[in-house]
């Protein structure tokens, strides 16, 4: 009986270890205005590994890729865990003002786009002191693509990865979306963006535009509008990987193609069947949006393979 029990215990322990292919280590980055929080998702039992710093997309998106505006897909966490199985670590972060990093932002009107860039650079400086890390890649999803791009200009990294990142500036992206979805609002939005660009007050903000251009967020929008991703990606001298899903309903595949044109040396992949939250989906709007609330769906496997190959060969 004793031998049978011991054999059963060893089999159970082996099974548990086979599933425990990643470990999570919590990290705190101290800044003058408060602490920023992040998670290092590292491969289990590996002494040396490359690291991808993954910067979140726009709005209140947390380190796992979720936000209170209808996204609970856990996309960043799932991608990090998939990369850990391939012996690549990922640093997931809560942006200044979001989730566990909320207290680092005292007032909404005090945040600028450059602050997120500086935070990314500081995270890189902080995490690269870990002796297990062999090299660091800067990656960003959606809005995070531009933040990571600018950070890669300011600090030495092994490579840069854009995931679902636009090529145009944010004002042109918004106006372009309105031209398709609400044409009557497009000239109104364009006029408001121009006023913000010229540091002129907005007399009134139509209801549909209030969340995007409310007074407290205008300094951030003004600082964000200054940057055109296509211009910035051309400045990079490190290896560049551009990833885009074919069924992304938020960022068109043409944006990725434009980024490639601005950085001809970049490696470009349009992943068939992948949507904005990195899951497999059709292009049918209702079906696509439904995946935004399905954390049980894995991230697209081709996405994982491409990143692994990019990190592995550099």
- Quote the pLDDT of residue 97: 95
pLDDT > 70 fraction of the chain, expressed in percent and rounded: 93
pLDDT of 297 higher than 50: yes
Verify that 115 and 181 share a domain, yes or no. no
Domain CATH number, residue 107: 3.40.50.1820
Q: What is the pLDDT of residues 224-269, one digit of tens each?
A: 999 999 999 999 999 999 999 999 999 999 999 999 999 999 999 9
**Residue 303 pLDDT exceeds 70:** yes
Is residue 114 assigned to a domain?
Answer: yes
Report the number of distinct structural domains present in the chain.
Answer: 2
Same domain for 125 and 34?
yes
pLDDT in tens, 6-45: 333 333 333 333 345 899 999 999 999 999 999 999 999 9
Looking at residue 15, its pLDDT comes to: 35
Q: Mapped to the 3 state alphabet, what secondary structure does the chain carry?
A: CHHHHHHHHHHHHHHHHHHCCEEEEEEEEEECCEEEEEEEEEECCCCCEEEEEEECCCCCCCCCCCECCCECCCHHHHHHHHHHCCCCEEEEECCCCCHHHHHHCCCHHHCCHHHHHHHHHHHHHHHCCCCCEEEEEEEEECHHHHHHHHHHHHCCCCEEEEECCCCCCHHHHHHHHHHHHCHHHHHHHHHHHHHHHCCCCCCCCCHHHHHHHCHHHHHHHHHHHCCCHHHHHCCCCCCEEEEEECCCCCCCHHHHHHHHHHCCCCEEEEECCECCCCEECCCCHHHHHHHHHCCCCCECHHHHHHHHHHHHHC
| pLDDT number for residue 286 | 96
Report pLDDT for 20.
52
**What local confidence, expressed as pLDDT, does residue 211 receive?**
85
Confidence band, pLDDT 50/70/90 cuts, at residue 204: confident
Q: Are residues 177 and 278 in the same domain?
A: no
Which range (51-55, 58-62, 165-169) has the least confidence? 58-62
The per-residue pLDDT of the chain, averaged, comes to 92
Residue 4 in any domain: the answer is no
Q: What is the pLDDT of residue 18?
A: 38
Both 255 and 122 in a single domain? yes
Residues 120, 174, single domain; the answer is no
Based on the domain organization, do 57 and 200 belong to the same domain? Answer: no
Q: Does residue 7 lie in a domain region?
A: no
Domain co-membership, 213 together with 247? no
Residues 211 and 119 in one domain: no
Q: Residue 206: what pLDDT?
A: 86
Query: Does 292 fall in a domain?
Result: yes
Q: Quick: pLDDT tens for 59-104.
A: 899 999 999 988 999 999 999 999 999 999 999 999 999 999 999 9
Q: Are residues 211 and 282 in the same domain?
A: no
Judgement on whether residues 76 and 117 belong to the same structural domain of the protein:
yes
pLDDT of residue 29: 97
Does position 142 have pLDDT exceeding 80, yes or no?
yes
Q: In this structure, are 187 and 65 located in the same domain?
A: no
Instruction: Indicate whether this model's pTM tops 0.75.
Output: yes
Q: Which domain holds residue 219?
A: 170-226
């Amino acid at each position: 009986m004793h031998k049978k029990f011991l054999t059963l215990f060893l089999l159970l322990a082996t099974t548990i270890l086979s599933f425990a292919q990643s470990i999570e280590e919590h990290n705190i980055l101290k800044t003058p205005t408060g602490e920023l929080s992040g998670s290092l998702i590292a491969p289990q039992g590996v002494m040396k590994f490359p690291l991808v710093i993954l910067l979140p997309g726009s709005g209140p998106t947390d380190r796992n890729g979720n936000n209170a505006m209808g996204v609970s897909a856990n996309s960043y966490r799932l991608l990090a865990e998939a990369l850990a199985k391939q012996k690549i670590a990922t640093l997931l972060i809560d942006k200044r003002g979001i989730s566990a990093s909320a207290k680092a932002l005292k007032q909404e009107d005090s945040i600028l786009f450059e602050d997120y860039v500086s935070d990314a650079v500081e995270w890189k400086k902080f995490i690269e002191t870990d002796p297990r890390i062999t090299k660091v890649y800067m990656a960003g999803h959606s809005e995070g693509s531009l933040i990571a791009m600018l950070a890669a200009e300011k600090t030495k990294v092994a490579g840069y990865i854009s995931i679902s990142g636009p090529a145009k500036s944010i004002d042109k992206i918004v106006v372009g979306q309105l031209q398709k979805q609400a044409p009557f609002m497009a000239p109104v939005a364009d006029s408001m963006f121009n006023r913000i660009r010229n540091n002129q007050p907005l007399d009134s903000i139509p209801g549909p535009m209030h969340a995007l251009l409310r007074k407290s967020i205008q300094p951030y929008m003004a600082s964000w509008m200054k940057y055109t991703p296509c211009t910035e990606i051309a400045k990079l001298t490190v290896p560049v990987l551009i990833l885009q899903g074919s069924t992304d309903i938020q960022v068109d595949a043409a944006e990725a193609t434009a980024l490639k044109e601005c950085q001809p040396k970049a490696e470009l992949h349009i992943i068939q069947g992948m949507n904005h939250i990195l899951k497999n989906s059709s292009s049918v709007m209702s079906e696509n949006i439904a995946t935004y609330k399905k954390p049980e769906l894995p991230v697209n496997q081709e996405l994982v393979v491409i990143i692994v190959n990019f990190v592995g060969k550099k």
